[in-house]
Structure 1
Amino acid sequence: MHFLRGTLRLRPPARTKVPSWDLAIVLEALSRPPFEPLVEVPERFFTVKTVFLLAISSLKRVGDFQALSVAPSFLEFAPGVAKAFLYPKPGYLPKVPTVVPRPIVVQAFCPPHFRDSEHEKCNLICPVRVLDTYDHRAALWRRFYPKILSDLILDSYVISFHMCSLQIYVIYSSLLSEITILTVMAYDRYVAICKPLDYHSKLTKNTCVKLILFSWIVPNCICITAVLLSNLRPICKYHIDKLYCDNWSVVKLACVSSFVNNVFGYAISVIFFSFIVLIIVSYFKLISACKASLENRKKFCQTCLPHILSLINFTIALLFDIMYSRYGANDIPESLRNFLALELVIVPPVFNPLIYGLNITVVRTRVFTLCN
């Protein structure tokens, strides 16, 4: 023991020190390109400059900044843009619970009309000026870009809880509707090929209306229920490790047990994967019915092959999305996660009209004529 102590005194362990930096040099850099002029600054550098100036002027924690927003209800400016008031979101919990969340007040300095060039240069690093310009540019981004597209071009991805819920509903109601529509189409193909004499008696007008209503109403009701169950739970965290909001990621932000949401999620997964199993079983029956006749094989390839391609693409992407949301590991490359997440919401809406449209002779002839 004495030997070890003596060794430590003679050769103390090297401790890594925080790199030193000069605030004056950083502020000087922020007043030059690529951080100026603000009207031409790329979004990435603009965001870095805004956050840095707010951090050093307010002396707040990182957690305090996560609860801020440039939405009109959370950001106010005093007359003449002399001050900026940033209000935390309602669900924000400070690190010290005894502290009542208060708005961050940022004071402007060196406003126009400038006395000299030095006064004008100091205005370039005024946090209120930068925040005001950022607020106007963020309003333009919100106005001209859908949320998921703006997240692809920006480096900071911020969304309100209500808009996140709306995003969950829109994305997953369309995905679940795809499964129910594919199920209805599989039933239609099964009756048309395996029981052609009973087709008109089984698929009457009333039956078709019921199947269409089923394919849209059931997924929408399920998604509304899932979103309501998630919204009734208080949240303690604010970070979602995904390009867009999904229901299970929001559930994991909650402060209380997720047992009800977990059971509901498993039940819905079992129901909709049973639909996929029904589709697969129907196609096995179709293959066995068509293999004896050349004409039936041609009919199968013409009507069912696009359906199978759409089902395979959709099922693989959906299965990965569900498995990663619930059991995902951080060792999966981010580029792969982003690709599969986007593939699920972008490829089916583009892929399905293409394969089903080209399967129609009139559409196919028109497209080939335009291409030639």
Structure 2
Amino acid sequence: MDNISSHHFFTVTALDEWDWTSRIIFFSFALPGYLLTIVLNAALIMIIAFEKALHEPMYIFLCNLCVNDLCGTTGFYPRALVYLLTKTNRISLEECIVQSIVIIVYGAGEFSNLSVMAVDRYIAICQPLRYHSIMSPFAVWSLVTFIWIYPCFLSIMAILVAMKYPFCRNDIVKLFCENLSLVNLQCKQDNLNGIFNGWMYVTAIALISFVLISYFKIILACRKSKVNQEKFFSTCVPHLISFLNYIACVFFDSSQTEFRAKSLPRMLYTFLTVIFLIVPPVVNPVIYGIKLSPVRAKILGGGSSCLTQQPQ
């Protein structure tokens, strides 16, 4: 095969079997979904940013989660909408790399955000008297730094691995670019790809295990305390829903092996591979807006007096 890396273009084949009617139907849901995601996350960010009573660790981490969700959806939706509406199925190497970086940052950032939020909830419920001393401004901003440094480092490493060898194919079967798609197009692969992928899975499993262990201890602390139970239902339930929702969506994406890609209808396969990019960013602000009484009170115009009623 000729080396196609010099051509600097890839062909996205995810929509090749879609007729025009299917494209219009999908577009009619995708565009409102994108706009709704932007509005919901931007509204939550502004509420937290402009309401001083919400400048607490839990809400700072929630604000970062919303920013990360906006990052992921903006990296995916615009290009996907172009594919759907214009039948343009080519993407340049530079655009593919940028999209890959953004989506990796989003995917890893969701894990780091939710893990840090689990730390915050664990300290608030299991060590409430030490909460403010442990979650000092320095600690909070250190955790915020981790939230962004980890996914940025991961994305850079992933792209370096994906760009190690030239490309001999140009067909991307998913609706977006990411490092695994680029790796599969390489003329040659070595053990470095497997080592890096293994490291990504190990770190993801470690973060998931950390969250689950934190919640196991939180549930134990809530058994005999009504105060802790109230904190759990008001602040932990939305986090737990967001966490489980994201894990389920990632599972749907990662479970789509080459065998499944050939056995599933192309439209269903395409939807399952993008579900982690479209569902969590719209579900997270809705869940937190409904469950967190200070945010809900602000949305409903209940006044700033309600903001002091939320437990830490």
- TM-score, normalised relative to structure 1: 0.58
Alignment partner, residue 196 of structure 1:
128
> 1:302 aligns to what?
234
Give the match for residue 220 of structure 1: 152
CA shift digits 1:304-328 (9 cap, x unpaired) = 1111111111111112322325774
Aligned residue number for residue 79 of structure 2: 147
The residue aligned with 1:271 is 203
Residue by residue, what CA displacement relative to the aligned partner does 1:155-174 show, whole Å, maximum 9, x if unpaired?
A: 34111112111111101101
Aligned identity (percent) is 37
Alignment of 1:2-41 (within 5 A): none
Q: 1:91 to 1:159 in 2, by over 3 A?
A: closer
Superposed CA deviations along residues 223-243 of structure 1, whole A, max 9, x for unmatched, are 011112212210001111111
Take 2:179 and 2:248, find their aligned partners in 1: how far apart are those partners?
19
Following the alignment from structure 2 to structure 1, what is the Cα–Cα distance between the partners of residues 299 and 8?
Answer: 53
Q: Which amino acid aligns with 2:126?
A: C
Query: Which of the numbers 238, 242, 253 marks the counterpart of 2:170?
Result: 238
* Residue 297 (structure 2) pairs with residue 365 (structure 1): yes
Q: Unpaired segments of 5 or more residues in structure 2?
A: 11-76, 303-312
Please report how far the alpha carbon of residue 367 of structure 1 lies from its aligned counterpart in structure 2 after TM superposition.
4.0
Q: Distance in 1 between matches of 2:259 and 2:267?
A: 18
Change (3 A) 1:325 1:160: farther
Q: Which runs of 5+ in 1 are unaligned?
A: 1-62, 68-87, 93-144
Q: Following TM superposition, by how much is the alpha carbon of 1:340 offset from its aligned partner in structure 2, in angstroms?
A: 2.2
Determine whether 1:351 maps to 2:301: no
**5 Å matches for 1:7-156?**
89=7, 146-156=78-88
Q: Secondary structure at the match of 2:180?
A: helix
Which of 168, 175, 180 pairs up with 2:107? 175
The CA distance in 1 between the partners of 2:186 and 2:255, in whole Å, is 20
Residues in 2 aligned to 1:306 and 1:152: alpha-carbon distance in whole angstroms: 33
Does the 8 A contact of 2:238 with 2:287 survive in 1? yes
SS at the partner of 2:207? helix
1:209 maps to which of 141, 159, 162: 141
Q: After superposition, what is the alpha-carbon deviation per residue over 1:183-242, rounded to whole angstroms, capped at 9, x for unaligned? A: 111001001101112212222111111111011011111101111221221000111111
Q: 1:259 deviation in Å?
A: 2.2
Contact kept in structure 2, 1:248 and 1:326, CA below 8 Å: no
The two structures, once aligned, show a CA RMSD in angstroms of 2.5
> SS where residue 170 of structure 2 aligns?
coil
Where does residue 247 of structure 1 map in the other structure?
179
TM-score, normalised with respect to structure 2: 0.69
Identify if the C-alpha distance between structure 1 residues 169 and 325 changes in structure 2 by more than 3 Å, giving closer, same or farther. farther
Pairs aligned (count): 234
Contact 1:252-1:258 within 8 A present in 2 as well:
no
**Aligned ranges for residues 328-347 of structure 1 at < 5 Å?**
328-347=260-279
Evaluate the alpha carbon distance shift between residue 181 and residue 329 of structure 1 in structure 2; reply closer, same or farther with a 3 A threshold: same
Pair member with larger Rg: 1
Partner of 1:60: none
Q: Say whether the 8 Å CA contact 1:251–1:258 is kept in structure 2.
A: no
